[in-house]
Amino acid sequence: MSAALVTLGELQRALGGELIGEAGRSVTAIAALERAGPDAITFLAQARLRPLLAASQAACVVLKPEWQADLPTGCAALLTPDPYLYYARLTQWWAARQRAAAPKGVHPSAQVAEGVRLHPSASVGPFAVIEPGAVLEAGVVVDAHGWVGEGAHLGEGTRLAPRVTWGAHCRIGARGLVGSGAVIGGDGFGFAPAGGAWIKIEQLGAVRMGCDVEIGANTCVDRGALDDTVLGDGVKLDNQIQIAHNVQIGDHSAMAGCVGVAGSARIGRHCTFGGAAMVFGHLEIVDHVHVAGASVVMRSITAPGQYSGIFPLDDKASWERNAATLRQLHQLRQRVRGLELDREQQP
């Protein structure tokens, strides 16, 4: 994405940092270090990438003061103790400058029910449907094809991308961001067995999210059975995630794509889950737990730390041999025990 000319001085005034170089020099793009041309600003966030600096063609590099000596001649710099965070702020500033704001008010094609509480600065896009009793606070955006159920509440500045389904009575705080195709407040999966069939348990709870929550595309967060499903402040969920009914996720925990969390699991604060990690139901995970992608949490985790459980990839033939042996692993241990006992009995 390219932008109109931006001077380094403008950037420095907006985002802070110490500018080394000419304030009037301009850039038109943000680019990765190895690909930044003379029209681009880039950043160096990891010490291991310092060797790339010398060959960079970038107009300006965001980096730590102590790395300044590595700058190639003629390359400007913005010095900051946390270049990655600076880069994040820079992308926000850049996007805000480039992207058109959502038009205030209700698109003529949208269906907004009587009795919706709609702030004048809120935006409702084409073919959106807002059901009775919903509340859309200041700056809320419900983009095209959105659906907001009865009595739902969207906090200040929360934005729903095109085609989000937001269930009845579900709530989110300020500055939320919900990706296309997300379904919030679908029915939890609950049935009572009866004579071989399944009798539906209607899901009477809702979903409650804090502030600064981000939900990815096509992610589902189910409504609770009796109580609510709860996501704390600053929770970030990537795409294609499934959060079952009555799950609780603590503040600032983050999950990468394709994660699944089964019903009533309680997850602490500041946890991270790699892609496709799975969490079984009715268990508890304390704060500051980090689960590797594609790992399965079958029991509660009571100590912070890093956890993993992934079958190692191998060429198919080797895998077949090892997997076959794995099915007799317990027996193999018995055989080793047998050998050890024999040894102990030797004179």
- Within residues 10-39, the interface with its own copies by CB under 8 A covers 30-32, 35
* 265-284 positions binding its own copies, by CB under 8 A: 270, 274-276, 278, 280
Q: How many CA atoms lie within 13 A of 305 on its CB side?
A: 5
Using CB under 8 A, which of 136, 152, 209, 244 touches its own copies? 244
To the query of whether residue 252 is one of the catalytic residues in this protein, the response is no
Q: Binding marks (x or -) toward its own copies, 59..98, rule CB under 8 A?
A: -----------------------x-xx-xxx-xx-xx---
- List the one residue out of 173, 195, 181, 187 whose CA is nearest residue 145: 181
- List the one residue out of 239, 238, 180, 235 whose CA is nearest residue 207: 235
Q: Specify the DSSP element, H or E, that contains 326.
A: helix 316-326
126 touching its own copies, by CB under 8 A: yes
62, 46 Cβ separation under 8 angstroms: no
Using CB under 8 A, which of 163, 171, 208, 266 touches its own copies? 163
Using CB under 8 A, which of 5, 73, 327, 347 touches its own copies? 327
332 touching its own copies, by CB under 8 A: yes
- Nearest-10 Cα torsion for 88, 164, 210, 93: 20
115 touching its own copies, by CB under 8 A: no
Residue of 169, 245, 290, 330 with catalytic role:
245
As measured in angstroms, the least distance from the Cβ of 271 to its own copies is: 12
Pick 94 or 140: Cβ nearer its own copies: 94
**Structure tokens of 324?**
């076959």
**Displacement of CA 168 from its chain's centroid (Å):** 23
Q: How far apart are the first and last CA of the chain?
A: 78
163, 181 Cβ separation under 8 angstroms: yes
54 touching its own copies, by CB under 8 A: no
Pick 90 or 122: Cβ nearer its own copies: 90
Using CB under 8 A, which of 15, 121, 218, 284 touches its own copies? 218
Using CB under 8 A, which of 24, 51, 120, 312 touches its own copies? 312
- List the one residue out of 240, 177, 180 whose CA is nearest residue 210: 177
